[in-house]
Structure formats: structure tokens, C-alpha cells
Structure 1
């Protein structure tokens, strides 16, 4: 029996096929390793076997013996005529038959062609065993995506358990009086990056929901064709989630074992690497998306041009992450002044302490950028709603600075005068922001219909007619708007776990705000586009006058 080589199971366009396969297929018949001539062996994919006539059943008869020529070489007959039989020397047996019947020769030609067809069919089927030919499977077994996902989840959980175990043992090695202070400092360096990772995870969820619905978020944000999908966003969030806790675990471990200098280098290296990746000019790590992000940040910082939807959308997200920027400022200040892995920042006279004047300035910076954006929009559009929106962001300024005055005035003055002002400004800012979210950002102008238990699906297609989601969004948005005031107030930031929880809840509130804000913008764009299309098909005045129906008597 003829046994085909294993590499014949590869197709020509297979990624795993060796590069020299087409040349071997051409050279193989020359070395009598394959019964098909070179003219019938092609390095390109063959015609599917279904397009050829079916082969006759039964087992193929054995191949006829070759005809030996005078020079000693043997050859198979390829046509219906018998080749000339050379005269054999006298007294010598040539070992070849002098003649073969025409039926035997034609049968051999048919069998040889069928065998070549089998080889071609084997290349097409790529590993399927042919009838009468023993094959070696050449297709590698690829694990299923579900199996790979489960393996990744298991490895992620094992990594998390290892980090928790090493971090807990490292904290337990410290003295009791310095343990809480050191955890507070470690929280200062890694808290903002964890919140950024949370925001990236939730932004990926936003994009996934938009991709499943009719909201074209790429058109809303005017993104290019190479924009990041939700899978790529989640991949970035995964790497950030892995790197930040690993660096934090190394920081705790090295400090608890007396390696203070090495421990101090961990957050510095982490911040330096992330900054280099963000500002890298090379075509790596999603260059176009990083450029879009940096360009939008520049437009937010200097609103000298017309404000687009991505500009004020990202500025609104930055207002929810003002505490993240404040912690980043304090972390950078300590790294510049070489105060990492110390607890001197709790002192009131410290350069980068919790009573620094730079803290309220950084907290108010996103609100000021959004305020100037509203003024720029009013200059371009002359709409009074832009001034009302600017007034909303200006109400956050008294909340931040009145709270910071507690560390710079006498306690009785704070309690008798500044504290009531802070409470009033906090209530005004929370209620005004809640009203603006519902009335303007989400365009839920008729709240009475919602509370009269009417179906609110007319305002949002993302909820699929589930009215309870509206009630949850309204209630949670109001509560979290009020608790966010706690985060803007410097005199209330004592328990860092509570501060982290409230900041994370504000990120979640902004996450659910994104759904309604982007969908509302998409509905406006769709309505405007439909109006323009209907205006284009409306007949003009001259067309109506020239219409034959207008001249009937």
C-alpha cells in the first residue's frame, strides 16, 4: 500500500505548513517517492472532491509491473499504446515483461489518477483519513476559549491569594503603633491607581452594553476605525489590576523586612513606567488611543477652541475623580521631595502633608475646567443653559475651600461661622447637580410621568422597559451626590477606608450616568439626522407649482 507522507495533510494556506512544502511537492515525483507526475502535483489548493465524479467502489487491483528499458531504468506506461520493447541481450533475463495488454495499461492509468485525486482530497480535508490510505493526524488540538478563560480566572485568583497572604504577613511584622500610619501611606500611593483601574473596567462595561444595543458610541465620540473595543479596554484594565497590587505587595514586603530604600523605589518605578507608557511616541500600546486621550486632556485644560462632546464628557468624568488627582498630587510631591516610605506627611508643617494648600487647588481644578468650558460654549452658541450649567460647577468651589479653611482658622470661628456656610453650600451643590443630571444630561424632563408608574422605556432603549431601573438610578444618584460632598471636604478625610469606599461609589455613580448621557446624545443625533433627511425629500415651492395636480380645472 502507498503511505502518504504526514506533511501532505497540510493545506497550502495553512499557518502551520512548512514554507518548503510547495517545493517538496514538486520535487517528490522526481525521486520516485510519489506515484503522481509533477504535472499532476500542484502546490495550490486542489478542487474539492465533491466537484469530481465519484470513484467506483471496490478495492483497487495491484499496480502492474514496470517496463524495464535497455539502460536499466523502468517506466510506467502513460497512454494506451505499448512502449517499444528493447531487445534483450542473448542469454540474459531482463526481468521485465515484453508486453502488457491494453486493458491492463488503461486500468493502471485510471488507478494512478484516482490515487492522485486522493492525495489532492487529503490536502483539502487537511488531516481526514482517506479510504485505503493510512494517515497521520496533523491538526493540533486547540483548547476552547471557555477553557482558557477558566484557566485565566484560576490563575488570577491564585495570584490574588498570594498577594493577600504576603501583604498580610508583612503588615503583621510591623509594630502596632506604626502599622496604621504605614498602611495610610501605602494607601496614598496605590489608592488612585486602583480607582483608575476600576473606572477602566466600568468603561469597558459601558462600551460592551453600547455594542449590544443600537447606540453607536463611536459616532457619538467621533472615534476612528481603530478605536479600542470593550475587549481591549478590559485587557488594559487587567494589566493595571495585576501590576498595581503586585507593586503594593512588594512595597509592604520590603519595608517590613527592613529594605526601606528598595521599598521606596516600588511606587516610584510604578509611576515612572506608567507615565512613560502614556507619553511614549512609539507605535505601541495603542498609540492612536493614547494620542486621542492626551489631545482631549489638552483641550480640557485650555478651552480655546470649540467644545466637542468628548471634551466636556471627559471633563465630567474628571470631576468624579478629583480625589484621585489630589492623591496623585500628594504622591508626586512626596516622590519629588524624597519622602517615600516615611510617615512625616502626617505632620501639619510637612511640605506634602494633608494640610497642604495644594490639596483644595487640585480638587477644584476639574470643576474650573468644566466651568470655563461652559463659558466657551455660551460664547459659541449664545444659549443660556450654558450659563446655568456653569453655575452648577461654580457651586462646588465653596464646598472645597470652606472645608479647607478648618485647618487655617480657630476652631470656634469654624464652628460658628464657616461650618454653617459649608453645610448650605454642600446642600445646594448636591441638589443642583442632581437636578441637572435628570433634567439636562438625561433629558428626563417630565419626572411626574415616571413616578406615576408609566413605562419609561420611551426615554431609554437600554433598559428594555424595566421601570425599576429608573427608580434605582434616581435614588442612587441623589444619595451618591450627597455623599460625594464628604469626599470634597478635606476636614472629613480621616478614615482612609471610608474615603476609598465613597470615592469608589462615586465612580460607580458616574458609570451609570454614562449610559443615559451617551444614549441621550445619540438620540439627539439620530433625531437631527432624520429631520435633515425629511427636509431633503420635501418638495420645493417651484415643484409644487409645476405639479400637474395643481393645474386641474
Structure 2
């Protein structure tokens, strides 16, 4: 793999603008090379004859003698080395302040007067710009993590004090006794060792005993703890100071923030208040440890990314300078790389030392001193590609194609399209199996999106909030979709009988229960508690579903409203679930007959289930409006409210024909379509920007071919107009049943949603890139008084 591609693959996606622009500098070197080659070719053309071998050898001897003399001269004198005669790199202060923190590096090219020197001047100007950019970004990130380390240090102090209060509440009285009687000079560690030597909290107490040593109170990660430690050791007469803050005194400066966000806690905070009183329970301690452990893991990942950023940039500058030496036949890389090694980017070791302290603190406080266990938790879990996934995906894809071909052949042989029972089949069996078709198509679109997200380096695991190593790739999604497709197509084959058995005057009961059995199997696999079939992904999905159902009682995350948006394109699938209940609950499935369409309850729920996804999105917008105070959420809520009205009117017209309902359904649908289309293109996709450098698109695009975006906008508008078939009474084409037409319209909406999903996440990713947001913000369990304003 070439270094340019390796650099792109190793980048933190959200920091890509902060890395050295290797391709741009490489293109400048190509310009230098092309100019040099052009000059050489012109010189050769102007030379009438080629030099003889004797002349060539004489020139080589002369050149070697000159080099030897030049070397001897440099050795005897203190002249400037040859490498530094090409370039000089200096640190130039910005403004009157001579501080290095407000300085930048500038390279002076000493051979600009030579022919073609202007190209090399451009190269070094661009090189300095890229180096200063990388240097300033690295400095800002190091300062950022140092501030975060101080906050985590305070959190560790509070954690140790909280552990003491939980596992040994009587310790506060021992501290008070030590303060009253300084002569005894009892250390906290001795009291802890004497008062608790057994029990389930022994592992925690071992850590506490190390922390509450006589040499100082809770040690954290920064150097300030060591200073406090040495200051505690100093006392008049060589005695250690017995006046130390008790755990309660330490916790007085903190407010706990570990309340689970549940519907009950939300209602309680609204009715009673959000003040949380410390109870010092083991359950509360467990929540604090889990929350702080997640914060440590995320912080360690950030440190690794910063360290990788520094290494990859240094390597990139080294590679580009060696390429420059090769193209120009000069020796400028040595002096430039020497400057880079002496700069903050090449000589700073704050991140490495901070990583060591973080690892030591994590192993001590969260792994009970077990380094292997602690490092396995801190390190990212690499997802290993399994060949059997690709094999079974290919195998099941072949089975799917074979089953589709078998169904087509059976339909042709049995002449099912002209059978009298085809209408009965379309009214009863087809809606049952269409549910699985909608799910399979949605999974295929999601798998395709994952493939293209990875291709264009969209950090979708971070955007959705997946835990490290738990997200599944497109191969796994395709495997699930083809597996479900094989099961459902097998069921379709078993229900292709069009005529009832003459002796029983009914269909085979076991075959008629196949769709219900498939649905039950699908639900069992979804809710299966065992660690099979990607349990972490299934649980993440179910948690998002629960938060969507209980909106607005949960804080809305991107994954929540993203899933709710997907549900708005699965209205027909939700209606199929309603039909399952009616058909198998009150219908005569043995005779393939039902009376659902004539039930007022069924008609009412037929409208309700269609607006539930839009209602969820409306509640989520209201929750975000009150929390974030963003007026755009109000407009977004109005969009979903207009869609609710349009869907209700179209469904009412579909159930009860009438000119008045037709006009109302048409008008509301036009309003909702215009509103939704504008929001898709402008707000969700970020397109149609008149002042953009890419006309009517965005400034930043992941796809180089701009025609893709214009085609996507046109397709989105066309597919959004699929509602016209319900208002203009295109319910039954000459060769299509109305159920088949409704299923096709639902599939088109799923395809539109899949296309929307890619561009929506692309826009979100580019927003994160613009703000360099690459890591999750994990809430800390304690709020310190000094950080209250934050």
C-alpha cells in the first residue's frame, strides 16, 4: 500500500482537515519534476552531439574530485553544512511577543534564483503552512487532554472518598478522633486495615488502603498529587500531619450525577425536583464506577488518537522531504527533519506520559491491580473479519436466487396468475409475507449504506454511539437479510396452493400457520437473551426502540431519532403486523378469509398505526426544543405534524371514498410533500446552498462526482410523490392487484429512505469534521464546585 492511502486509512476521520495534506504537496513535487524534465529535454535538444565516453568519465572524475575537495574544506572550516545551504528553517514570532507558543516556522529556500526555483518556493511555502497547521492542532489537543486529565483526577479523588464511605462508614468518626487528638497520629490506613478484613468489598478495600496511605490522601494522575504528597510528609519535628480531609469533607465539594434517566426519574424530577441526595449505597457506587470507567476508556482512546496523529504527521513530513530530495537531487531533508525533531510536534512526550498515568490509575482503581485485565479493557476491540460470514452470505444469496427462480417457475407451470384463487391469495397471504420483504429490503439498504460509509470514511459507529467493537459490518447485515429472505421465500413456496382441498373444503392448517411461525421465530431471535446472532447490536436496537416508544421521557440521541425516521418509512410493515393480529385472531385462516376491512376498530387502528412513527418524531422534536432551545426543532415538529394530518387524510380517503376527503387529502399531502422535500434537501442533506463553492451543493462533499447529488435530489422528489397513487385512485393496474401496488409503493419509500440515510449521515459526519468532534462526551459522575459553571 502506498503511503498516501495508508495515511488516509490511519486518519481520525473527523480530524482529516488537520492532517498534513500529503496529496497536495505531492502534486507540487510533480510540478517540480515535470519542469525539471522539461528543462533537461530542452537542453538535450539544443546539444548537437552527445559526449563521448572519455569526456563523460573525465567529467565524473572532475566532479568526484570537487566533492572530495569540498568535503575537506568543510571539515577544516566551520562553514555551514551542505544540507543547510539549500534551506534555512527559522522560528518567527507572531507579533511583538517572542514566546514560542505564538510563533511559527518559516523555511527560506536559498536557491530560488535558479531556473525553476519558483516551483520549489511554492513547495516550501505549502510545507510550512502544513507543518504549522499540524503543530498548532497538536498543541491545542494536548492542552485539551491536560485539562480533561485534571478533571478526571478530581473524579478519582471523589471516587476513593465515596468508596471509603460505602465500605466503611465508621471511618469518618475515626478521622474526627484523629483531628481531636493529634498526639495519637493515627493514620487512616491503619484504621481501614483493622476495621475491615473480610467480606465482598475486600477487592475495593485493597485499593482504598493503597490510596489512604499515610503519605497522602487520594492520589490521582497529575503531578499535583505528588506535590501534595510531599507537602503532607513535611511537618515540624518530622512528624506526619494527622489533619487530613475526611471522605465527607472531600465529597462536600462534589455533587453526584449518576441518576439513571428513566421515565420514572424524569417524572420525579419534574414533580419533585432534580436534587440528588447522597445515600452511599453499593448500587450507587456501582453506577459511579461504571460511568467513570467509560470516561477513562474514552479518554484513553483520545490519547491514542492524538499520539497516532503526531506519529503519522511526522512520518508524512519525513516521506515528503525524502521525495523532494529524490526529485530535485538536493539534500534538504536532513536539516528540515532536524528542525521537526526539535519542535513541539517531534519532541513533546506529554501524551505518552499522560497515557502511562491514565493506564496506571485505571489498573489501580478499576482492575484491582490486574494489568492484563485493565489493558484489555482500555484497548479497542478490533473487529476480526470472519471468512465464514462471507461464505454463508454468498451461499444464502445463491439460495435466495434459486428460491425466487423456483417460485417464478411454479407460477408459470401452475398458471397461478389466471387462477380463481389468486385474489383470495393476494388479500390474505400476500400481506403476511410482504412484512418480511419490507424488512429484507430495509436491511439490504442499510448494508449498502454501511459499505459506502466505510468506502468514504464516514465514522458511523461514533455518530450512532456504538460501543467499541460491537458494531457489525455490511457483510453481517447482508447475511441477516439473506437468511431472512431464504426463510420467507421457503414459506412462500409452501403457501402457493390456490385451491382448497375438496374433501376438507379448507387449506392445510399447518401450511397456513407458516407466516405466523416465521414471525414468532423472528421475534424470538430479536429478543433472545443469549449471546448469539449479534446480541450487542440487537440490544442496542431494542434500547433505541424502547426510547422511541417512551418519547419524550428519554433524552433524544441521534440513534433514537434516526431509528424513528426509519420507522416512518415502514408504515406498511406496521400495518402488516396489525393484519397479523386481525387475520389469525378473528379471521378464518384455514379458509383464507377475514372481515378486517369491515371492522370499525380495524379501520381506526389502520389510521393510528400509520401516524405512530410520525407522532414519535414530533414528541422527540418537542423534547429537543425544550432541552436545546433550538428553533429548528420547532419547524421540524411542524413538518411531522403536517405529515400526520396528510397520512390521516389519505388513509381516511382510502377507507371511505368521497370528493371532500379526496380534496383535503390532496391539499394536505402537497403541503407535507413540499415541507418534507425542503427539509430533506436543505436541512438533513445540507444541499441547495447558493453561496457554496460547489453550486447548489455543499462546500464539502464526499463523492467527487457532483451529478450523484443532483440525481439523488431528483429521485427523492419523485419518490416522495408516491402518495399520488392513493389520491388519484391508481389502486389496481391492469396487471397488478391493489395489495401488490401498495407493496411496490412501500418498497419505493424504503429505497428513498435508504438513499436519504446515506446523505443524512454524510452531512452529520462533515459537521463533526468541521468541529473536529471525534469522541463521545461521557458525563462524569461528580460535579466539582469549581466546574459548576461548565
- What TM-score range do you get, normalising by the shorter chain? 0.5 to 0.7
Q: How does 1:464-479 map to 2 (within 5 A)?
A: 464=704, 466-479=705-718
The one-character-per-residue Cα deviations of 1:188-241 (angstroms, maximum 9, x if unpaired) are 101121011011011001101111222111111111212111111111011011
Match of 2:402 in 1: 158
Q: How does 1:159-308 map to 2 (within 5 A)?
A: 159-169=403-413, 172=416, 176-224=419-467, 225-253=469-497, 259-303=507-551, 304-308=553-557
Cα deviation, residue 485, structure 1: 5.6
Give ranges in structure 2 of 5+ residues lacking alignment.
1-386, 733-737, 776-790
8 Å CA contact 2:687, 2:697 repeated in 1: no
Match for residue 668 of structure 2 among 425, 429, 435: 425
Name the SS of the counterpart of 1:371 in structure 2.
helix
Contact 1:403/1:490, CA 8 A, preserved across alignment? no
8 Å Cα contact 2:390/2:475 also seen in 1: no
Larger RCO, structure (CA 8 Å, separation 6 or more): 2
- TM-score if structure 2 supplies the norm length? 0.44
Question: How big is the shift at 1:371?
Answer: 0.4
Question: After superposition, what is the alpha-carbon deviation per residue over 1:252-290, rounded to whole angstroms, capped at 9, x for unaligned?
Answer: 249666643122211111111111111111111211111
Inter-partner Cα distance in structure 2 for 1:496 and 1:426: 21
Conservation of the 8 A alpha-carbon contact between 1:207 and 1:230 = yes
Measure how far apart 1:407 and its partner are.
6.8
Q: Report which stretch shifted further, 509-518 or 247-256.
A: 247-256
Paired residues, what number?
Answer: 378
Superposition deviation, residue 419 in structure 1: 2.1
Deviations along 1:286-321, one digit per CA (max 9) or x if unpaired, are: 111111111100101112121100000111111011
Distance 1:190 1:229, change over 3 A: same
Query: 2:566, 2:752 → 1: CA distance?
Result: 10
Q: Note if 1:325 corresponds to 2:574.
A: yes
Q: CA deviation at 1:477?
A: 0.8
CA drift of 1:145 comes to: 11
CA distance in 2, matches of 1:448, 1:210: 27
Equivalent in 513, 520, 523 of residue 756 of structure 2: 513
Show the counterpart of 1:444: 687
Which is higher, the Rg of structure 1 or of structure 2? Answer: 1
Structure 1 residue 167: deviation in Å?
4.9
Change (3 A) 1:391 1:184: same
- Closer, same or farther in 2 for the Cα pair 1:250/1:167, shift >3 Å? farther
Cα gap change, 1:456 to 1:248, in 2 (>3 Å): same
Contact 1:250 1:263 in 2 (8 A): yes
Question: Which string of whole-angstrom CA distances, capped at 9 and with x for unpartnered residues, describes residues 78-116 of structure 1?
Answer: xxxxxxxxxxxxxxxxxxxxxxxxxxxxxxxxxxxxxxx
Measure the CA separation in 2 of the matches of 1:326 and 1:144.
Answer: 36
Aligned residue in 1 for 2:17: none
Deviation at 1:401, TM superposition (A): 2.3
Match of 1:358 among 591, 598, 605: 605
Match of 1:395, SS state, is: helix
CA pair 150-310 structure 1, distance change in 2 beyond 3 A = closer
Distance, in Å, in 1 between the alignment partners of 2:388 and 2:555 is 49
**Distance of aligned partners of 1:264 and 1:253 in 2 relative to their CA distance in 1, 3 Å threshold:** same
Q: How far off its partner does 1:398 sit?
A: 2.0
Tell me which of 376, 380, 387 is aligned to 2:627.
380
- TM superposition shift of 1:150: 7.5
Q: Structure 1 residues 216 and 255, CA, compared in 2 at 3 Å: closer, same or farther?
A: farther
Distance in 2 (CA, whole Å) between partners of 1:299 and 1:205 is 26
Check conservation: 2:422, 2:498, Cα contact below 8 A: no
Distance in 2, matches of 1:508 and 1:357, equals 28
RMSD, matched Cα: 3.2
Question: Equivalent residue of 1:475, what SS?
Answer: helix
Displacement after TM superposition at 1:421 (Å): 1.6
Provide TM-score, normalisation by structure 1: 0.62
Q: Residues of 2 paired with 1:146 and 1:191: CA distance?
A: 27
| Structure 1 residues 97-148: Cα deviation after superposition (integer angstroms, max 9, x where no partner) | xxxxxxxxxxxxxxxxxxxxxxxxxxxxxxxxxxxxxxxxxxxxxx999999
Show the counterpart of 1:344: 593
Contact 1:201 1:237 in 2 (8 A): yes
- Quick one: distance in 2 between partners of 1:531 and 1:270? 41
Q: Does the C-alpha gap of structure 1 residues 217 and 347 become closer, same or farther in structure 2, counting only changes over 3 Å?
A: closer
CA distance in structure 2 between the partners assigned to 1:274 and 1:154 by the alignment: 22
Alignment match, 2:285? none
Q: Does 1:401 align with 2:648?
A: yes
Structure 1 contact 300–369 (Cα < 8 Å) conserved = yes
Whether the 8 Å contact between 1:264 and 1:341 is mirrored in structure 2 is yes
In 1, the alpha carbon distance for the partners of 2:415 and 2:756 equals: 38
Q: Secondary structure at the match of 1:223?
A: coil
The structural deviation recorded for 1:492 is: 6.2
Maintained 8 Å contact 1:251/1:263: yes
